């Protein structure tokens, strides 16, 4: 850890709002008297191109002339109280069974926030995996970009494979248990 990293403060808060088109948003935290600026580049360094409003977030911050800014995202948690919307499939898997599903490396084929859904492909497989916008929200995302690398937990639904959780590829790699 560098000297700069030791002097930076770590704060937990909630995403007030984030606009990928503008390239920034703000975090509110009890540890700061003002809103904390979250720039898109800082979020991208964490491995996400968007974050859902209300998501829990842990960041390393610095004080600048313009105020407090996040310089590193350490963790993102989904907005509180969100439940994975599986429709009629909801009764098929318990939350424990959902979390036991393997994380599958995938690439976003396309996602249309206005339509509320999109598709991804698991690496090495040709079939599409359906991604609903509410699954994104409960996973802490606001949007996905075509070509974005993600890890998906996938359940078999009545109409095919569907994502029940989305994790940024970088976060999935960070959260992996050591193989030693």
Q: What pLDDT is recorded for position 90?
A: 45
Using CA atoms, how far apart are residues 2 and 85, in angstroms rounded to an integer?
43
Structural domain boundaries in the chain: 3-77, 87-175
In this structure, what are the phi and psi dihedrals at residue 141, rounded to the nearest 5 degrees?
-105, 155
Using CA atoms, how far apart are residues 23 and 25, in angstroms rounded to an integer?
7
Evaluate whether 3-77 and 87-175 have a shared fold. yes
At 24, list the tokens: 């920034």
Using CA atoms, how far apart are residues 134 and 165, in angstroms rounded to an integer?
10
Angstrom distances, CA of residue 38 to CA of 21, 87, 126, 149? 13, 34, 36, 21
Is there a contact between 135 and 118 (Cβ–Cβ < 8 Å)?
Answer: no
Q: What pLDDT is recorded for position 16?
A: 94
- The list of the chain residues with pLDDT below 50 reads 1, 3, 90-91, 179-180
Concatenated DSSP letters for 88-128? GGGGTS-HHHHHHSPEEEEEEEEEETTTTEEEEEETT--SE
Q: What pLDDT is recorded for position 126?
A: 87
Q: What pLDDT is recorded for position 42?
A: 95
CATH 2.40.50.140 fits 87-175, yes or no: yes
Which CATH code is given to the segment(s) 3-77? Answer: 2.40.50.140
Is there a contact between 97 and 129 (Cβ–Cβ < 8 Å)?
Answer: no
Is there a contact between 136 and 143 (Cβ–Cβ < 8 Å)?
Answer: yes
Q: What pLDDT is recorded for position 15?
A: 93
> If you search the block for the tokens 């609903």, which residue do you land on?
132
At 148, list the tokens: 């974005």
Q: What pLDDT is recorded for position 119?
A: 97
- How many helices and strands (H and E) does the chain possess? 5, 10
Q: What pLDDT is recorded for position 62?
A: 94
Q: Is 177 helix (H, G, I), strand (E, B) or coil?
A: coil
């Amino acid at each position: 850890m560098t000297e700069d990293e030791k002097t930076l403060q770590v704060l937990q808060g909630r995403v007030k709002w984030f606009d990928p088109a503008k390239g920034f948003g703000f975090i509110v935290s009890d540890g700061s008297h003002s809103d904390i600026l979250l720039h898109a580049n800082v979020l991208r360094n964490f491995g996400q191109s968007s974050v859902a409003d209300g998501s829990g977030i842990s960041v390393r911050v610095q004080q600048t002339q313009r105020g407090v800014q996040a310089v590193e995202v350490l963790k993102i948690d989904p907005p509180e109280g969100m439940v994975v919307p599986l429709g009629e499939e909801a009764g098929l898997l318990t939350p424990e069974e959902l979390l036991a599903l393997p994380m599958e490396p995938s690439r976003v084929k396309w996602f249309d926030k206005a339509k509320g859904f999109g598709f991804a492909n698991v690496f090495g497989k040709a079939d599409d995996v359906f991604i609903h916008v509410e699954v994104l929200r409960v996973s802490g995302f606001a949007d996905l970009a075509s070509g974005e690398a993600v890890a998906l937990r996938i359940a078999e639904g009545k109409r095919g494979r569907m994502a029940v959780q989305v994790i940024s590829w970088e976060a999935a790699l960070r959260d992996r248990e050591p193989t030693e």
